[in-house]
Homo-oligomer: A and B are copies of this chain.
Amino acid sequence: MKNICLIIEYIGTNYCGFQRQRNGISIQQVLEEAIFKAINQKVNTVASGRTDAGVHALNQVVNFSCSCNIPSDKIHYHINQYLPKDIRIKKSFEVDENFNSRKSAISKTYFYKIYNGKNFSVFDEDRSLFFPYKLDFYLLNKGATLVKGQHNFSAFVCSNSTSKSFVRTIYSCHFKREGDYIFFEITGNGFLYNMVRILVGTLLEVGVKKRTIEDFKNLLNGADRKLAGKTVSAGGLYLKQVQYDTKGNLI
C-alpha cells in the first residue's frame, strides 16, 4: 500500500463543501469517484480540513492509501481526466505511511477577497465580496494585528459549532490592497467553523467605523457570538496553503 498525497485546486461554488454530505454534492465524493475511475480502487480520502459550501481552495491537501502501479507523481494526470473543470489536482506524490493531511497539518493559511470598488463585475460573482463602502485601512490593519496570538474565539464561531475549545493561535493576520481589491490573509494553527468569515465581517465594521478597535479587542477574550459582526459570504474565502512539520516541502 502506498500513501498518496494530492494538492488540489477547486472552485467551491457548485459544491456543499469538501466533506461528504447527505444532501448535496461534495468535492470529496466527486474526487473519490474520479479516483475509482482512474485506478479502479475504492479509497477513503482525508483532507487537511473541510472547507464549507461555496469556499474555494488553491492548495487543498488530500491523502489516501492505495495499491497501484501508476507512478505516484503521475497519478494526478489519470484522475484529472475524470474530474469536472472546477476541480483540478495540481500535483501527486507519495508520502510517509504516517502522513495524515488533517492530523499532520501544523497550520493553515486562508485569504478572503473583497471588491471595494463601485462596479461589481459578474466575473467576480461567487469569487469575492462586494463591499463598496469607504474603509479606513489603518483601522482595518490595527484590528487585524490584534488577532495575532492566542485567543478564545468563541465570538467568532458559528452558533451551531460542536467545538469543545475555542482557543486558537494566529501566527499572522493582515489586510493588503491591490487596486480595488482588498485581501485579508490569516495563518493559524486551526480555525473554528465560520471563524475567518466572522472575523472579516467584524473587521469590516471596524473599517467603516461602525465598531471601535476597543470593542473588537474585547471580542477576542471569549465573548458571545451575538456580539460579533455578521458572517460574510463563502464565495470570497480561499484556502491558500497548508503547512506541515514533515521535512519535505509539501507544496
Selected from B90, B121, B126, the residue in CB contact (under 8 A) with A9 is: B121
Residue of B nearest to A123 (CB): B11
In the complex with contacts A90-B119, A119-B90, A126-B11 CB distance below 8 A: no
Residues of B within 8 A of A1 (CB): none
On whether the beta carbons of A85 and B9 are closer than 8 Å, the reply is: no
A221 to B67, CA, bound (A): 60
Q: Which residues of chain A (79-99) have a CB below 8 Å from chain B?
A: 85-88, 90
Interface size of A as a range: 10 to 19
Instruction: Other than A11-B122, A123-B127, give 16 A-B pairs with Cβ distance below 8 A.
Output: A9-B121, A9-B122, A9-B123, A10-B122, A11-B123, A56-B123, A58-B121, A85-B122, A85-B125, A85-B126, A86-B122, A86-B125, A87-B122, A88-B121, A88-B122, A90-B119
Residues of B within 8 A of A119 (CB): 90
Nearest chain B CB to A126 CB, angstrom units: 7
Q: Mark A100-123, 1 if CB is under 8 A from B, else 0.
A: 000000000000000000010111
Nearest chain B CB to A238 CB, angstrom units: 9
A9 to B121, CA, bound (A): 8
A90 to B117, CA, bound (A): 14
A127 to B11, CA, bound (A): 14
- Chosen A-B contacts, 8 in total, with CB atoms closer than 8 Å, are A9-B123, A10-B122, A11-B123, A56-B123, A58-B121, A85-B125, A87-B122, A88-B121
Q: Which residues of chain A (43-59) have a CB below 8 Å from chain B?
A: 56, 58
Residues of B within 8 A of A127 (CB): 123
Nearest chain B CB to A8 CB, angstrom units: 9
Residue of B nearest to A8 (CB): B122
Residues of B within 8 A of A87 (CB): 122
A150 to B246, CA, bound (A): 63
A126 to B127, CA, bound (A): 15
A125 to B121, CA, bound (A): 17
Q: Mark A9-25, 1 if CB is under 8 A from B, else 0.
A: 11100000000000000
Residues of B within 8 A of A88 (CB): 121-122
Residue of B nearest to A121 (CB): B9
Residues of B within 8 A of A126 (CB): 85
Residues of B within 8 A of A11 (CB): 122-123
Q: Which residues of chain A (119-138) have a CB below 8 Å from chain B?
A: 119, 121-123, 125-127
